[in-house]
Chain A
């Protein structure tokens, strides 16, 4: 079956530090890959996505590249802000399965001023 594994948190960084949250997946075929973010007190929001190998998703300074050879979709940001403090979820959806998402366990990011 499909599965997503992401690094456990919490990840604590100082403002302007470089962020990497690792995500690897197991799936048959060619899934779409996503990063969702859950800010305190808010619902899940799509942060970025990639639908095929070597695609790079980007949004709000965050980036992730779909690496089929390593089955990975690591999230990166060059300079985090306090406002980036949230829980980040990596997810996949099988090809043509819409948003039937398999999520990783989530990684809590805390950014200190």
Chain B
């Protein structure tokens, strides 16, 4: 597609349930990033994939969060046993290395 696509755009889940958020990056982009935007914490880096290298997971807030990137393209961010503090907008971005990052519209996650 023309831009970074994220799905779903909105997700409401019950506390304790697992959720999966999907990101389709721009075709050919080797780098993929996940960020979280919340009222209390602002915009936070979560995880970074670059080509076939091991991902940089330094921003993941707890071991309930994980992400994978299959075939160097689509990425899935999984949150296990969701908590109310996980409510936020989850943003995905992709780029060629060291060039401009393009962001998706985000997935708004609400944990009730």
Show the binding face of A for B, using Cβ within 8 Å. 42-46, 49, 89, 91, 96, 98-106
Number of cross-chain contacts by CB at 8 Å: 48
Q: In the bound complex, what is the Cα–Cα distance between A104 and B100 (angstroms)?
A: 18
Distance of A89 Cα from B35 Cα, bound (Å): 14
Task: Name B's interface SS.
Answer: strand
B38 to chain A minimum Cβ distance, whole angstroms, is 11
- CA–CA, A72 and B74, complex, Å: 36
A89 adjacent to B103 (CB under 8 Å): no
- Contact between chains at B43 and A99 (CB < 8 Å): no
Residues of B whose CB lies within 8 Å of any CB of A are 4, 31, 33, 35, 42-45, 48, 50, 56, 91, 93, 95, 97-98, 100-101, 103-106
Q: Provide the bound-state CA to CA distance between A49 and B103, in Å.
A: 16
**Known pairs A49-B100, A99-B95, A106-B42 / 9 extra A-B pairs, C-beta < 8 Å:** A43-B91, A43-B105, A89-B43, A91-B43, A98-B50, A98-B95, A99-B33, A100-B45, A105-B42
